[in-house]
Amino acid sequence: MVNENTAQEGALKFAVAPNSKMRSSGHEGVPSSASSYKDDLAVAIRAVNLASQLCQAVQRNLLSKETQSKADKSPVTVADYGSQALVSWVLQRESPVDRAAGSFSMVAEEDSEDLRTEDGLPMLERITQLVNETIAADGTFGPVTLSKDDVLTAIDGGSSPGGPEGRHWVLDPIDGTRGFVRGDQYAVALGLLENGEVVVGVLGCPNLPLASIGPNGPVSSDNSVGCLFAASKGAGTITHAMDGSRPAQRVFVSEVSDSKWAAFCESYEAAHSRQDLTANIARILGVSAPPIRIDSQCKYGAMARGDAVIYLRFPHAGYREKIWDHAAGSIVITEAGGEVFDAAGKPLDFSKGRFLDLEHGIIATNSHLKDAVLAAVQTAIKEQQNVTKGESSSHL
Ligand SMILES: Nc1ncnc2c1ncn2[C@@H]1O[C@H](COP(=O)(O)OS(=O)(=O)O)[C@@H](OP(=O)(O)O)[C@H]1O
Ligand SMILES: [Mg+2]
Ligand SMILES: [Mg+2]
Ligand SMILES: [Mg+2]
């Protein structure tokens, strides 16, 4: 659900870099919003835009030699590192608040360890080249060239442990790496924590269609892709086309209050969420539409504009969620009027460091459906536990 002419548009007008290539268009004369995070939002949008340009360039030329294996066996590309280097570099150089404070803290997914080895040198050289090409192509940062050491230092700007006090940026340089490698959906996801609370969130979703991806969305012949979502505490969520072809619009979660009509979204990868459990929750709720399965925090963006009404994410036993997989997405939803909570109905707690401690999983929906969805989740979990108990006692 999108809505023009709102106060948040003013915030975006302020927030978008004056001559950024990926800026939004229009909104002259709209008064600025009173968001106290407008400087942070502005620099976050600038950083995500720049990193998204690098990701787009790499995805276009994705070669198998640009993937390597990490200990967790997930594919890591030069784009993960390049994106993290650029976001860190932009924030450290451009954030007025961090510069004034003389301190910078970022909790980010990647680190430079593998790149500091002899084997990592060719990849480091490729990343450094890409970073410099992206800065030069953007053209808004002046003549500047980063060395390999600058790139390593920028990547390691993301090594903060986070925590309950102070300001911490939270970055997933490419969320949905598998989607990225597949040529599908991914997001550059940047949040800002203040005393453990998410106060700013920006999602760059370079492959997300501008038109609704929901089953109930209006039919559109527009095939354009590339959406940015930006939210700050108390100032709402806006979206705009990353190429500037569409003006910024405020977005709101769906108002659907009958769960029968509530389309839900979940991970593309079955290994990332228990699709048996989510199918059961959907059955209890009477949801008839098939799930929308897309990679990454693009799900939060799509939901914030009403494409889906419920997001269900239930990792397999033993998996611990990381804060960078949800910080930006969660404020994009809550500032669009939605709610994000765990299976106990508690809001997510980003104050505990790099991990989120959760009851079972993550749920997002609108306020009308929160109680019904939570009840369905709890019923489905109980049913599942009873089945497991029955199975283990039949083996005795
Ligand atoms: N086993 C398991 N269970 C749950 N989640 C996992 C698991 N393994 C990885 N991850 C994290 O999932 C992030 C990708 O997000 P999604 O699950 O929304 O995308 S996808 O649809 O599955 O591609 C992905 O983020 P990126 O690593 O940034 O791609 C991971 O942090
Ligand atoms: Mg990863
Ligand atoms: Mg991720
Ligand atoms: Mg990632």
Query: How far is the C-alpha of 293 from the C-alpha of 133, rounded, in Å?
Result: 34
Report the 10 Å Cβ neighbour count for 196: 15
Identify the band that residue 9 occupies on the pLDDT scale cut at 50, 70 and 90: very low
Binned at pLDDT 50, 70 and 90, residue 206 comes out as very high
- Cβ proximity of 203 and 328 under 8 Å: yes
Percent of the chain with pLDDT over 90: 77
| DSSP 8-state secondary structure symbol assigned to residue 353 | S
Name the residue among 117, 116, 91 with its Cα closest to residue 104: 91
Q: What is the pLDDT of residue 217?
A: 81
For domain 2-251, the CATH superfamily is: Fructose-1,6-Bisphosphatase, subunit A, domain 1 (3.30.540.10)
Break the chain down into helix, strand, coil percent, rounded to 5.
Answer: 40, 20, 40
Pocket test for ligand 1, best of 296, 324, 333 (most atoms within 8 A of CB): 296
The pLDDT value recorded for residue 59 is: 87
Q: Which residue's entry shows tokens 């749920």?
A: 363
Residues of the chain with CATH 3.30.540.10: 2-251
For residue 45, pLDDT over 90 is answered with: yes
Q: Is the pLDDT of residue 339 over 60?
A: yes
Kindly indicate the confidence band of residue 388, based on its pLDDT and cuts at 50, 70 and 90.
confident
Q: What is the rounded CA–CA span in Å between residue 337 and residue 123?
A: 42
ipTM of the complex: 0.95
Report whether residue 383 contacts ligand 1, using a CB cutoff of 6 Å.
no
- Cα separation, 112 vs 8, in Å, equals 37
CATH (residue range 259-394): 3.40.190.80
- Cα–Cα distance, 201 to 190 (Å, whole number): 6
Region for 211 from its dihedrals, namely left if φ exceeds 0, alpha if ψ lies in -120 to 50, beta otherwise? beta
> Is 109 in contact with 171 (CB distance < 8 Å)?
yes
Nearest residue to 177 via CA among 55, 274, 332: 55
* CA 293 to ligand 1: nearest atom: 21
Question: Rounded to an integer, what distance in angstroms lies between the CA atom of residue 122 and that of residue 353?
Answer: 33
How many angstroms is it from 92 CA to the middle of ligand 2? 23
Q: Is the pLDDT of residue 356 over 90?
A: yes
CB of 324 within 6 A of ligand 1: the answer is: no
CA 212–ligand 3 middle distance (angstroms): 23
Residue 297 buriedness (CB in 10 A; 0-12 / 13-18 / 19+): buried
Top-confidence residue, 21 or 65 = 65
Q: Is 156 a catalytic residue?
A: no
Pick from 63-77, 112-126, 162-176: least confident:
63-77
The verdict on whether residue 307 carries a ligand-binding annotation is no
- Supply 325's token pair: 């997989």
Catalytic residue among 6, 128, 177, 334: 177
pTM value?
Answer: 0.90
Least reliable range by pLDDT among 4-18, 182-196, 337-351: 4-18
For tokens 């509530």, name the residue: 262
> How far, in Å, is the centroid of ligand 2 from the Cα of 74?
6
**Nearest-ligand number for the alpha carbon of 177:** 1
Task: Give the DSSP letter string of 7-73.
Answer: HHHHHHHHHS-TT-TT-----TTPPPP--TTHHHHHHHHHHHHHHHHHHHHHHHT--GGGEEE-TT-
Smallest CA separation from ligand 1 atom 28, residue: 175
The helix/strand/coil state of 79 is helix
Where are the CATH 3.40.190.80 domain residues in the chain? 259-394
Only one residue has tokens 């419920």, namely 310
80 is catalytic: yes
251-287 pLDDT tens trace: 999 999 999 999 999 999 999 999 999 999 999 999 9
Q: How far, in Å, is the centroid of ligand 2 from the Cα of 250?
A: 30
The residue whose CA is least distant from atom 24 of ligand 1 is 176
Any atom of ligand 1 within 6 Å of the Cβ of 172: yes
Exposed e or buried b per residue across 206-227, where buried means at least 16 C-beta atoms within 10 angstroms of its C-beta: bbbbbbbbbeebeeeeeeebbb
Task: Tell me the mean pLDDT in the region 234-244.
Answer: 96
164 lines ligand 1 (CB under 6 A): no
The CA-atom distances, in angstroms, between 314 and each of 167, 234, 261, 344 are 29, 29, 22, 13
- Asked if pLDDT for residue 34 goes beyond 80, the answer is no
Task: Answer yes or no: is pLDDT of 2 > 80.
Answer: no
Rg (CA), the chain: 20
What's residue 76's pLDDT? 55
Give the pair of three-digit tokens for residue 131. 């970073």
Distance CA 269, CA 266 (A): 9
Among residues 207, 272, 200, 210, the alpha carbon closest in space to that of 239 is found at 210
Q: Is 175 in the pocket of ligand 1 (CB under 6 A)?
A: yes
- Return the pLDDT at 153: 98
Start-to-end CA distance of the chain, whole Å, equals 54
pLDDT in tens, 287-305: 988 999 999 999 999 999 9
pLDDT at 193 exceeding the cut of 60: yes
